[in-house]
Amino acid sequence: MGTGAPPRRWDELEQMAARIQQGERARGQKDFWAFIWPGASGEGLTCNALEWQISEGGGRVIEADGTISVNNPDAIRSWQRAAHWIGWISPPSVTSLQEWDAINAFYYAGTSAFFRGWARSYLLSVRDIPSIRDKIGITSVPEGKNSQAATLGGFGLGLSRSSRHITEALQLIRFLIHREIKLEEARSDYESRNWPELYDPTAILRTRQNSADHGKQ
């Protein structure tokens, strides 16, 4: 691992985090914790735990043949390692941090070196703030002894493989998400002034109400 390179493995992250934390505290930052991640019960922690588990060879909870494989030594060891971070390189309060709590602790408080988050969170929160943007970088989730694993969060529309009307279903999905995509594209351009709806909360509420009304039909 070259000087200045991000950690590629979990053990490298631990070593770098411990070293950075020790140095920052020696300089007077007594509240510096090197590794921040969403540890409260929720989607963020579930995604983290799956990445730890799979990267250490702990299986996929339910395998392709329907076998329940999660109760195995590799999965358990991966979670025990994460538990060891608490109070060492992660603050004791990490188990109460939701995703946005962790974002605030990392991006704005400036009292941590590493943060497990989502690229989307970065794009929505700090990409256009030069004082923060120019001090951070994004890299892949570290790998374990087995592989590198990264979960995909969020939600979306799906299409059944057994559908008899695939073409029509795809057309419906495109229709349903077309407007949302256009609004997201416009929001991502902070210089855009061509979409009054972006700055009119009544229009946003009206759109949500229309969606709710359609759902009741």
Sign of CA dihedral 100, 154, 85, 22: negative
- Supply the pLDDT for residue 2: 43
Instruction: Give this prediction's pTM.
Output: 0.68
Residue with tokens 């060879």: 57
At residue 1, the pLDDT reads 43
Largest CA distance in the chain: 66
Question: Strand pairing partners for 86?
Answer: 90
> pLDDT for 174-187, tens place per residue?
888 888 777 766 66
> 214: helix, coil or strand?
helix
Distance from C-alpha of 95 to C-alpha of 90, rounded to nearest angstrom: 9
